[in-house]
Chain A
Amino acid sequence: MALSGSSDDDRGGWLKIFRLPWSLTPPRVALARVGGFGLPRLLRFAGRRGGFEVLYADRIIYALRSLTRARGRLIIALTGITFAAFLMAVEGSLLFGFTLAASRLIDAVDGDVWMVARGIPALEFVSPIDERFAWLARGAPGVAATGRGIAGWAPFQRNDGDRTFVFAVGVTDRFLGKIPSPDEASNLVGGRRIPLQVDETDQEALSDTALPVSIQVAGTRADLVGSVKGFAAFLGTPFVFARFEDMRNFLPYAPSTVSFILVRAERRFTPEAVRNALRARFNSVDIWTTREFSWRARIFWLIKTGAGGALSLAAILGFLIGLSVVAQTIYSLTAENVEEYATLRALGASKRYVKSIVLIQSLSCGAIGTFFGLIALGPFANAAKAIVTWIFVPGWMYPLVTAVVTLLCLLAASIASRPAINTEPARVFRA
């Protein structure tokens, strides 16, 4: 028989993990053949005496031993990847927290559709519209109820005479949703004529004593009666929550005007259907579903302002820094072992075999680095809230960063494996 080169399946392994009685062969074989369903085949039956062998175990063991042999370099590599994963997670959390903060009031209100003045990009820029739209909208198909809100910037005088600006918000009771109700807080302190609430993180900015405290908003005396959580200012100007009926004391709104009108859809109508019905009737105002208006506000703050742009850029830079750190780390680890890769190639290892070793090393470093990077994320975010109140780490940030680092590791492995697979196998004869 003539000899020839061939591309045999070069998978193999030796890590025997368990032995089962011969009578259990069919399930064992079935388990070992999960690869037949397109899944990675990880186990192989090595005979009655051999039990199961883990495929790729040889590569896994070699790859990990090579990594741990150069401990100093491994620690540097893991530190780099940990930092990269941490950086990406922090940047992502800052960016996501910013978008949430940018639309927090819109998302908190319990309405399906918003009616605002034309061209308004976000709630912070509302201007007066006729209140009668609230009554007129009730005649549109699918409208169950309408509410009103007034919001705007107002001068604020602290109890000690210091002055600042606040963003005051008042919404009719049935549409408050998660917006704080000053009435409830007022009742707790024995009732006040014009009660206000502020986020606890902004309380110090508006009062130098414990609440309740008398202050002035636009020259009108009012009482700061309580603090709430989750409505920290993201522009530096505190949100102040008032009753809808009190808002005209603070803002120059005529009795027949409001900042926005809220619409609740009947159950059998979608917000989009109600929005369309309203748009057909009213063309002098902008009409958005809550989701659309929220998204519009986020996009505005992200893209149209320097702050959002800087955060977006930082998130992209975090990704690129992560890629370069991971790629450089894996590349240098591979380059350090190029003589051993040359030996493997000389012994007949296929390119795929060598690539898989680099990939295992890359993914192992990525997994460990991501683990430590993400462990540090929660405590860091909590500590950072003292400075950046709106930083927020969503649950999905963890799998997202893990997926991104995995992707980076795959990219890095494909780059780093080049010197390993392209190394000249004949160099093995050089002493």
Chain B
Amino acid sequence: MPEIVAERVELAFGEGAARTSALRDVNAAIAPEAFTIIMGPSGSGKTSLLSVLGALMTPDKGRVLVDGADLTTMSAEQLAAFRRKYIGFVFQSFRLMAGLTAEENVRMSLTMRGMRDSRNHALRALAEVGLERKGHLKPDAMSGGEKQRVAVARALAHDPMIVLADEPTASLDRASGLQVGDLLKAAVQRPGRALIVVTHDERLRPLADRVIFMEDGTIVREARKQYA
């Protein structure tokens, strides 16, 4: 069961006078079996923190530990292998492969991970998000809500320990947004799973176990479920 820990994490972009700090001395510990939301205004460092926790970026300073494994010491290929094995991603703009059907999008994610019998796994994952009859459709033939559900199926199909979502409901209408929120919430109900969502969507707040508020690259406030 992974515990995700960020220790004194700092991250900056640009060079010289144009250098901008995205994360300043961030400390956070996210327990498994938690639905954590990161909120804050634009430019507050939410997505940067998600990138660092998701092994997509290596911080300039500090450490990121996932169940004791230090991501900051890993090479780019080791980080890719780490993401492949342990993380599922959901993106604001879906990021499905335009040339593949819904089923193929999910299967590609599975075969990339060396999973056998990927077809049955993919169909099961699509069924879990209510798209068992739409596996043959390509993304451009689907609504935004359906695309995001395919993306959720892709993220969850290999049963990752950590699911990271960046504004997963931003492009969706109210009904679709709530549906996606529920699907993600259901994913974290499995033992030892952690879900971290960056969002501005207040509708997701009641679903979260914990809310982290960020401003100017630092965590300014936290709220646990009883206060959310």
Contacts and interface: CB of A to CB of B under 8 A. Distances in A.
Interface stretch (A19-27, A135-143, A283-291, A349-357): A349-357
Interface stretch (A264-272, A340-348, A379-387): A340-348
A12 to B, nearest CB: 3
B114 A3 contact: no
Interface stretch (A57-65, A197-205, A327-335): A57-65
A346 B56 contact: yes
A347 B56 CA distance: 9
Contact of B51 (A13, A348, A429): A429
Given A426-B56, A428-B56, A50 B117 contact: yes
A58 B107 contact: yes
Interface string B147-184: 00000001000000100001100100000000000000
- Name the interface size band of chain A: 35 or more
Contacts of B67: 2-3
A193 interface: no
Interface string A237-278: 000000000000000000000000000000000000000000
Chain B interface residue count: which class?
35 or more
Nearest to A427: B56
The DSSP consensus for interface residues of chain B is mixed
A419 interface: no
A4 B82 contact: yes
Contacts of B31: none
Contact of B85 (A8, A61, A426): A8
Given A12-B112, A425-B56, A431-B167, A351 B77 contact: yes
Interface string B71-99: 00011111111111111010111010111
A350 B80 contact: yes
B225 interface: no
Contacts, number: 151
Interface string B43-69: 000010011000011000000001111
A350 B75 CA distance: 12
B115 interface: yes
B82 A3 contact: yes
A53 interface: yes
B78 A7 contact: yes
Given A426-B51, A429-B51, A343 B97 contact: yes
Contacts of B56: 346, 425-426, 428-429
Given A46-B116, A340-B98, A58 B108 contact: yes
Contacts of A61: 100, 104
A281 interface: no
A230 interface: no
A11 B114 CA distance: 6
Given A68-B99, A429-B51, A5 B79 contact: yes
Nearest to B67: A3
Contacts of B93: 431
Given A346-B83, A426-B56, A428-B91, A5 B114 contact: no
B21 to A, nearest CB: 16
Interface of B: 2, 47, 50-51, 56-57, 66-69, 74-87, 89, 91-93, 95, 97-100, 104, 107-120, 154, 161, 166-167, 170
6 contacts: A5-B77, A11-B114, A50-B120, A58-B111, A340-B95, A348-B87
